[in-house]
Amino acid sequence: MMACLLEAPLRISVLSEVTATSRHYVDRLFDPDPQNVLQGVIDMKNAVIGNNRQKANLIVLGAVPRLLYLLQQSSSSLELRTECAVVLGSLAMGTENNIKSLVDCHIIPALLQGLLCSDLIFIEACLRCLRTVFISPVTPVQLLYTDPTVIPHLMSLLSRSQHTQEYITQIFAHCCKTPEHQTVLFNHGAIQNIAPLLISPSFKVRMQALKCFSVLAYENAQVSMTLVNVLVDGEQLSQVFVRMMQRDKPIEMQLTAAKCLTYMCRAGAIRTDDNCIVLKTLPCLVRMCSKERLLEERVEGAETLAYLMEPDIELQRIASVTDHLVSMLADYFKYPSSVSAITDIKRLDHDLKHAHELRQAAFKLYASLGSNDEDIRKKITETENMMDRIVSGLSESSIKVRLAAVRCLHSLSRSVQQLRTSFHDHAVWKPLMKLLQNAPDEVLVMASSTLCNLLLEFSPSKEPILESGVIELLCSLTQSDSPALRVNGIWALMNMAFQADQKVKVEIVRALGTEQLFRLLSDPDTNVLMKTLGLLRNLLSTRPHIDQVMSSHGKQIMQAVTLILEGEHSIEVKEQTLCILANIADGNTAKELIMTNDDMLQKIKYYMGHSNVKLQLAATFCISNLIWNEEDGEELRTRGSCGGSQERQDKLRDMGFVDILHKLTQASDPNLCDRAKTAMQQYLA
């Protein structure tokens, strides 16, 4: 009760302004005659309505603890308690500081306690005040969930009146922020209790109930699955939502209903080809992006639409031709407009406030639209100044915009054509590289993933990126704690090493260091392991490179290969490893590392007889390379460095490989059969 009074600094600073009348109101709360107290509270109520200074004064003078005391006192008359709740509600309507003071005075438990009273008018007054407190951003939502009896009691109060319905659903809609909150509300029957309110005669109740469903269903399969089976007055809930999206309904209602259906769809409760999604929700969200809507609505509309169609190419295709969406989004970049700057300061302020939000929403939606379809990507990059906008978005101060811009860039970078044309023309790699230098992880993940695509061999940006000294950066990514960053780092290196010059390969090996390379080969993340093997395989291509890498790192590589082949790994990993071995077998000098390793030859033999055709094929490929008979062999023999193909063939025959190859020529898999036959021909040659 004394909590507020302890806030001394505030008190002193404002005290000077406190007028005598304010003090008079507070003094009357302490009158010994209850009738005078009641009249005092009523007068106070009339004095504070719409008067923020008066509200602050009363709070500073300690009215809140006294009002709470009177409200909680069972000896107070019901009328007095109700008036106290009304005044507190009025104080809460003021500034955020007011709310803070009220919360500090423990107004929430006091009001929640008040809900246990049987008098409806009193309950409504308490709920109205609670509503005002809870919808403020300064109130910790957790306070609703501290006492486990509160939620069930609120559920039971839903049936009392339209006012209780409105306030309680509004509280739920604002205080459901995490999956845990969703579960608590769900377990206490939120769906059954709130669904009937969707057809309430009161618009406010319908609207708040709808908002409840949108926060309950968000990324929540359990809620979404339940929702599809709910009937409201004999009608399916999804149909009720569809009706709420009709074009003559208020925009807020259309948008929120579209969110509900979007979340249900993304949670897997409604198919993406359901008419209520394709013909209703999607067009409704596209409409929300139109110029006629408010800036806030356009942001929400675009974000929700991006989320809806992210995983579905068909929805992306439909959206891309609906109401000129792609060019409509270009308008999102025109804030603040040049007109607003000159004519109207208020509008300029409003535009500025929303400009970042608009841009990031547009980038998100472009990213979603272009994530699968080549034609759509083309359409996006051909939109006025699109690439320039992305490039400048990458270096904006707002992290949200940077992230969205890089997501957009990533989505477009999946296009071979765009990599070859617009990406190169606009030198997007430059800001991208800059972004990679210093960015939070989520931006880094997207940026490095985009970089992977820019490093593909057909990308003309590959060369300048290489020259910019990216290798060190990528190597440092492979040391990140985040598996996603490690994958992207090694993946980019893998792409970089593909058909690269000897110089580049050497540089990669040097920068990465064999120690890090082998650490990555034992990475707990399979993706990292696979890409590392991919890197090795790319490093070990074309004969001179193979021999050079193997001559300097042969021992460690053979060890690592042995380790992986002996370990518990997936077929894909082992296949990739055998392919590396096959590459080694293709080298001139490197061959000997296998030929002299009987243990390894036994392993190859084992995999030639494996039940999985892919592994058989890779192992056979390896043998085929070992017995390959060509001029290089001759040349080498004359140099006398090591044995020629004849000797290898003999050794392998002795080890029984010919028999196996013979058997494999009868294999049912045509590729394996061909490969075995080709190898056998080497013996005949």
Partner 1 sequence: MYQVLKEVGLDLERANQIAGFHTNNKQKIGVPFAAVFLINFLDVCYQEKELNQRLKRLYPAVNEQETPLPRSWSPKDKFSYIGLSQNNLRVHYKGHGKTPKDAASVRATHPIPAACGVYYFEVKIISKGRDGYMGIGLSAQGVNMNRLPGWDKHSYGYHGDDGHSFCSSGTGQPYGPTFTTGDVIGCCVNLINNTCFYTKNGHSLGIAFTDLPPNLYPTVGLQTPGEVVDANFGQHPFVFDIEDYMREWRTKIQAQIDRFPIGEREGEWQAMIQKMVASYLVHHSYCATAEAFAKSTDQAVHEELASIKNRQKIQKLVLSGRMGEAIETTQQLYPSLLERNQDLLFMLKVRQFIEMVNGTDSEVRCLGGRSPKSQDSYPGSPRLFNSPVHKASSSQTYQTEQNNAEVEMELDHFSNGVSESSSNGFLNGSSTHGIDLEECDGDMVDSAQSKRQLCGGSQAAIERMIQFGRELQSMSEHLRRERGKNSANKKMLKDAFSLLAYSDPWSSPVGYQLDSIQREPVCSTLNSAILETHNLPKQPPLALSVGQAAQCLSLMARTGSGSCAFASVDDYLH
What does each C-alpha distance from 206 to 195, 203, 255, 516 come to in angstroms?
9, 5, 14, 60
Give min distance, CB of 425 to partner 1, in A.
21
Question: For 513, left (φ over 0), alpha (ψ -120 to 50), or beta?
Answer: left
The DSSP output letter for 469 is T
For 52, 327, 405, the CA distances from 382, given in Å and listed in that order, are 53, 10, 16
CB of 304 to partner 1, least distance (A): 18
Distance CA 482, CA 472 (A): 18
Q: How many CB atoms lie under 10 A from the CB of residue 122?
A: 21
Check: CB of residue 411 under 8 Å from CB of residue 367.
yes
The residue among 248 and 599 lying less far from partner 1, judged by its C-beta, is 248
DSSP letter assigned to residue 281: I
- Pick between residue 296 and residue 323 the one whose CB is nearest to partner 1: 323
**Quick one: which of 116, 114, 61 has its CA closest to 91?**
61
Amino acid 594 reads: I
For partner 1, give the closer residue by CB, 138 or 313.
313
User: Considering beta carbons, is residue 368 or 453 the nearer one to partner 1?
Assistant: 368
- Using the rule CB under 8 A, is 221 a contact of partner 1? no
Among 34-42, 181-189, 323-331, 407-415, which window interacts with partner 1 (CB under 8 A)? 323-331
641 counts as binding partner 1 under rule CB under 8 A = no
**Least distance (Å) from partner 1 to the CB of residue 279?**
5
Q: Which of 50, 118, 234, 248 binds partner 1 (CB under 8 A)?
A: 248
Binding marks (x or -) toward partner 1, 291..320, rule CB under 8 A? ---------------------------x--
Minimal distance, residue 459 CB to partner 1, in Å: 28
| Residue choice 109, 283, 311, 460 for contact with partner 1 (CB under 8 A) | 283
Q: How many residues bind partner 1 (CB under 8 A)?
A: 12
In whole angstroms, the minimum distance from the beta carbon of 272 to partner 1 comes to 15
Does position 324 interact with partner 1 (CB under 8 A)? The reply is yes
Under the binding rule (CB under 8 A), the answer on residue 279 touching partner 1 is yes
Closest to partner 1 by CB, 109 or 283: 283
Q: Produce one character per residue of 653-684: b if its CB has 16 or more CB atoms within 10 Å, e if not.
A: eeeebbebbeebeebeeeebeebbeebbebbe
Which residue among 13, 178, 246, 502 contacts partner 1 (CB under 8 A)?
246
Q: Which of 2, 16, 148, 247 binds partner 1 (CB under 8 A)?
A: 247
Range in contact with partner 1 (rule: CB under 8 A) among 116-124, 321-329, 459-467, 497-505: 321-329
Q: Which one, 280 or 614, has the nearer CB to partner 1? A: 280
Options 114-122, 246-254, 386-394, 589-597: segment touching partner 1 (CB under 8 A): 246-254
Interaction of residue 321 with partner 1, rule CB under 8 A: yes
**545 near 505, Cβ under 8 Å?**
yes
Q: Containing H/E element for 231?
A: strand 231-232
CB of 324 to partner 1, least distance (A): 4
* The dihedral formed by the CA atoms of 514, 515, 516 and 518, expressed in degrees to the nearest 10: 80
Q: Prior bond to 196 cis, omega within 30?
A: no
Output 282 or 535, the one with its CB closest to partner 1.
282
Smallest separation (angstroms) from partner 1 to the CB of 381: 15
Residue 153 or 243: which CB sits closer to partner 1? 243
381: exposed, middle or buried (C-beta count within 10 Å: 0-12, 13-18, 19+)? Answer: buried
Whole-angstrom distance, CA of residue 185 vs CA of residue 183 = 5
Q: Which residues bind partner 1 (CB under 8 A)?
A: 246-248, 279-280, 283, 318, 321-324, 328
